[in-house]
Amino acid sequence: MEASTMELLPPPTILFNVSSAPSVICEDMNAYLWNTRRDLTTCPFVMAVFASLYSSIILLGIIGNSCVIMAIARIKSLQTVPNMFIFSLSCSDILVCFISATITPIAAFKKDWIFGQFLCSFAPFVA
């Protein structure tokens, strides 16, 4: 007799229990990762460094691509077919800066998805 798929799989491991039982110790995901794996992304200094890097990348991406868009839109001689492609790339890059570049560091440091089902489905298509 064949074993079903469920019988072959090991039981799931539950790391965090939200039960109100007094014997259960609930732990923050960042604290758990630091205590068990020494995950550097849980350190406040590392978070600050990455936050400043992400902020500068997002800011420069938005400012730089906005300048490209405004230049192509305002100057008639720049409105060529290759520049329309660059215009389109700048528009999509601004979208990536607003959506993907802001969601990625928050989700990475929070270790939890807080953006809802729609962005869970939509964000991978933008990145």
The pTM score is 0.64
Q: Does residue 92 carry a pLDDT above 80?
A: yes
pLDDT for res 16: 52
- Calculate mean pLDDT across residues 75-89: 96
Q: Are 85 and 50 in contact (CB under 8 A)?
A: no
pLDDT in tens, 11-70: 545 455 555 545 545 556 667 766 776 777 777 888 899 889 999 999 999 999 999 999
Question: What is the band of 108 on the pLDDT scale with cuts at 50, 70, 90?
Answer: confident
The span from the CA of 62 to the CA of 105, in Å, is: 17
Between helices 100-110 and 81-98, what is the axis angle to 10°?
Answer: 30
